[in-house]
Amino acid sequence: MSSLTAARIQMELSLGFHMIFAAIGIAMPLMMLIAEWRWNRRGDAEARRLAQVWAKVTAVTFAIGAVSGTALSFELGLLWPAFMAFAGPLVGPAFALEGYAFFLEAIFLGLYLYGWERLRPWTHWWCGAAVAASGVASGVLVLAANAWMQQPVGFTLDANGRPSGVDAWTVLMNPAWAPMALHSTLAAYQAVGFAAAGVYAWRLRRATGADRFARLGLTIAMTVASIAALVQPLSGDLLAKRAHRHQPAKLAAMEGQFATERRAPLRIGGWPDPERRETRYAIEIPGALSFLADASVDTEVMGLDRVPRADWPNVRVTHLAFQVMVGAGVAMLGAAAGFWLVRWRRRGDASTPLPAPLLLALVACAPLGYLALEAGWVVTEAGRQPWVIYGVMRTAAAVTPVRDVWRSLALFTLLYAGLSVLLVVFLLRLRREEAA
């Protein structure tokens, strides 16, 4: 196994693992706040219990996420030294600010966990608000670095190909940052909301009587998840238009668009064939891709025929990941619509059990938010290839020259496996405590 292959696999594994906990750190505190607000306003004991349970989940995932995030920081230096030498002065301030957000989150999470009986109710709630805000800030600031990798700004290249005239603060004004941060943050709310909703839907399906705790948990989780699912297509449309203007090869790979054309079709499904330069078996909607790219069916969409073959992303991986992301998003929107339709029809009737098919649908949707989150990041990263810094530095040029990277890959795989076991043990223990 080459150093490049091993390094890429290790980063894919590390990022995929870390995003699970980063998403919980962003979304779970908001759900926790909603539950505690209900306790403070209405004296609902089940809402307080929910907030306490979600606080415990937030705490343990915060700890595991801190470990995996620290591992990622080491990996950047160990596996990609050329990238860090080039990009460090530019993305350094964003990572430093993310560190401040991380420490603020840790401080206020501690106050929240141990302040239930020590702080005034609304003071305690505001500590939770600080946890929620700093969790979002942490994720958004990391996105500034990734947005810079997608659209590098704030420097010029000297005669030797090295950055000069560096202005690191320009990174925080990158036009790619806001739409990427919005899309990623919504994806976190959607993933965690549907995952929690699936847990409570399963509990309600197995319940023999009324279970207000599970029903309230389901309602709060679906509120957060549904709002995110509804807004998410709009943020995705902004990113697609940005890709059309600034990363046309990525858009072409996402859609399996091999030929440059006007009235380009939007493809549903299909299997790209790079050798024959066609996407087979796809359902095509004529002109829809051109319209989505720039609000006109006559818009010319650049195909991969205008990109040197050596600069193509992996078309099959990018297209398949994009289809998975969109398909999962549509399924979640459908489940959310069904849930709120049933709630509307039964307004004022909280005692009647929810229909079993609806609960099963919500259980089935539990992993879809995370599936869409991970698939979306595959689109973002695979679609940028073969560049680590788009149009500036190739991934192959950024990797470490050290051999035997597979040893590091094995070590970090064991680390993540151990952390996964710890998480499962904690969640099972928490479940037993709640059942007692």
- What does the pLDDT read at residue 236? 92
Kindly indicate the confidence band of residue 256, based on its pLDDT and cuts at 50, 70 and 90.
Answer: very high
The Cα–Cα gap between 126 and 131 comes to 9
Percent of the chain surpassing pLDDT 90: 67
How far is Cα 203 from Cα 431, in angstroms, rounded to an integer?
A: 11
Task: Give the separation between CA 32 and CA 321, rounded to whole angstroms.
Answer: 31
What is the reported pLDDT for 360?
95
One-letter identity of residue 37? W
Strand partners, 177: none
Secondary structure element (H or E) that encloses residue 436, with its range: none
DSSP state of 389: E
Cα–Cα distance between 189 and 136 in angstroms, integer? Answer: 10
Rounded to whole angstroms, the Cα distance separating 10 from 72 reads 10
- How far is it, in rounded angstroms, from Cα 358 to Cα 198? 11
Amino acid at 156: T
Answer yes or no: are the C-beta atoms of 109 and 134 closer than 8 Å: no
Q: How confident is the model at residue 331 (pLDDT cuts 50, 70, 90)?
A: very high
Residue 122 corresponds to which tokens in the numbers above?
């609304």
H or E, element range at 409: helix 405-435
Bridge partners (DSSP) of residue 300 are 262
Transcribe 277-328 into DSSP letters: TEEET-EEETTHHHHHHHS-TTPEEP-GGGS-GGG---HHHHHHHHHHHHHH
Give the model's pLDDT for residue 152.
92
Chain segment 201-213, per-residue pLDDT in tens:
999 988 766 788 8
Q: Is the pLDDT of residue 436 over 70?
A: no
- Do the beta carbons of residue 190 and residue 375 sit within 8 Å? no
pLDDT the model gives residue 435? 59
Mean pLDDT of 143-155: 92
The 10 Å Cβ neighbour count of residue 80 is: 20
Angle at 280 between CA 274 and CA 281, to 5 degrees: 155
- Spell out the long-range contacts of 122-128 with Cβ–Cβ below 8 A and sequence spacing 24 or more: 122/40, 124/36, 125/33, 125/36, 125/37, 125/40, 128/29, 128/32, 128/33, 128/36, 128/51, 128/55
Q: Extract the tokens encoding 347.
A: 């307004």
Of the pLDDT bands very low, low, confident and very high (cuts 50, 70, 90), residue 173 is: confident
